[in-house]
Amino acid sequence: MLETPVAFMVFNRPQCTRRVFEAIRQARPPRLFVVGDGPRPGHPQDASRVEAVRAIVAQNIDWPCVVRTDYAEKNLGCARRISSGLNWVFAKEEEAIILEDDCLPDPSFFRFCAELLARYRDDTRVAQIAGSSFQESVREDAPSYYFSRYPHCWGWATWRRAWRLYDHSMQAWQRERRGVWLAEHITDEDERKYWRKRFDQTLRGKMDSWAYRWTAAIWREGCVGVQPYHNLVSNIGMGADATHTEGFDVGLLPASSMRFPLVHPEGLMRDEAADDRTSRRVFRLPPLSLRIRHRLWKIFGQ
């Protein structure tokens, strides 16, 4: 029986929402926090889609559950809606499992998060638990998870004490963006270019992302996150409706089940080899030919 509350972030995608909500329904959390953004101006279909999404939750709670909703009347945008929603959740809860409407978890994801939230509850070196993973090959004797610099957020969990680190204004990056701070975390030059570009775009408001703000905050504090070696969450929201992942298929990894009891790492040391595999697959700027193809996809939709 799951005892950890779940925070569910929704917007205007009924099909994705229905599939992820069904996974939450099967897990039967005792408390469910639903955070929803409002319709966007200039998008006439948003109002009906937003209403349909909220109805999925309202009409399908069939287990003992305290449901709280925080629905915006007007559109706040991805960064402000999710960050303000999590502020609301953690004003009420010490810890929570967090799912967005396009993050479809394997059933074992919930137990994985709950057990590790309890294990690292008081260890301030650990900022979050992730369900997603980009490891394609793992040795047979590997533990269940590893420690990583990357705070993946396609299905994750954290504590109030860690979320307090979140800084929407990115003041630390504003102060230190021209210093050596980033190089202390990222040694690969191509990857540094990736993060510098993303942090700068977020700071200037050109990228509506709370996740890059979260990454900058926990790196500044020297924290790590937990990642499973095998992926537990699939992103089912790739495509034209996506906010940040349109045209990419990096998240389309099949979700598998976690084996229990968990096998824990011997110490709290970051797995540099695993992080390097993630870096090469996700966080280094793609070659020019792929960037051109992506730009054409955005223009022509194919």
The pLDDT value given to residue 301: 43
Structure tokens at 27: 């897990």
Mind listing the pLDDT tens digit of every residue in the chain (302 residues)? 899 999 999 999 999 999 999 999 999 999 999 999 999 999 999 999 999 999 999 999 999 999 999 999 999 999 999 999 999 999 999 999 999 999 999 999 999 999 999 999 999 999 999 999 999 878 888 999 999 999 999 999 999 999 999 999 999 899 888 888 898 889 999 999 999 999 999 999 999 999 999 999 999 999 999 999 999 999 998 654 545 444 445 545 789 999 999 999 999 999 999 999 999 888 886 554 454 454 554 444 43
Whether residue 95 contacts residue 121, with contact meaning beta carbons closer than 8 Å, is answered with yes
Q: Which residues of the chain are in CATH 3.40.50 domains?
A: 1-101
Q: How far apart are CA 222 and CA 224, in angstroms?
A: 7
The secondary element (H helix, E strand) that includes residue 15 is: helix 14-27
Whether residue 130 contacts residue 155, with contact meaning beta carbons closer than 8 Å, is answered with yes
- Domain 1-101 falls under CATH 3.40.50: yes
- Please give the backbone phi and psi of residue 266, each rounded to the nearest 5 degrees, phi first: -70, -35
Q: Which residue(s) pair with 209 in the sheet?
A: none
Whether residue 105 contacts residue 155, with contact meaning beta carbons closer than 8 Å, is answered with yes
Structure tokens at 25: 């329904």
The pLDDT value given to residue 295: 52
Beta strands 103-105 and 66-71 are unpaired
The pLDDT value given to residue 254: 85
Q: How far apart are CA 282 and CA 134, in angstroms?
A: 8
Q: How far apart are CA 243 and CA 140, in angstroms?
A: 36
DSSP letters of 187-238?
--HHHHHHHHHHHHHHHTTSS--SHHHHHHHHHHTT-EEEEESS--EEE---
Q: Output the CA–CA distances (angstroms, integers) from residue 222 to 32, 113, 192, 198, 225, in the order listed.
A: 31, 21, 17, 19, 10
Q: How far apart are CA 266 and CA 62, in angstroms?
A: 41
| CA atoms 66, 70, 73, 77: torsion sign | negative
Residue 208, C-beta contacts closer than 8 angstroms, at least 6 positions apart: 77, 78, 79, 243
Report which of 227, 226, 225, 230 is spatially closest to residue 259, judged by C-alpha positions.
230
Whether residue 237 contacts residue 101, with contact meaning beta carbons closer than 8 Å, is answered with yes
The pLDDT value given to residue 285: 61
DSSP secondary structure letter of residue 30: S
In angstroms, how far is CA 86 from the centroid of its own chain?
A: 12
Report which of 111, 128, 119 is spatially closest to residue 219, judged by C-alpha positions.
128
DSSP H helix total and E strand total for the chain: 11, 10
Instruction: Let me know if 25 is exposed, middle or buried by CB neighbors in 10 A (0-12, 13-18, 19+).
Output: middle
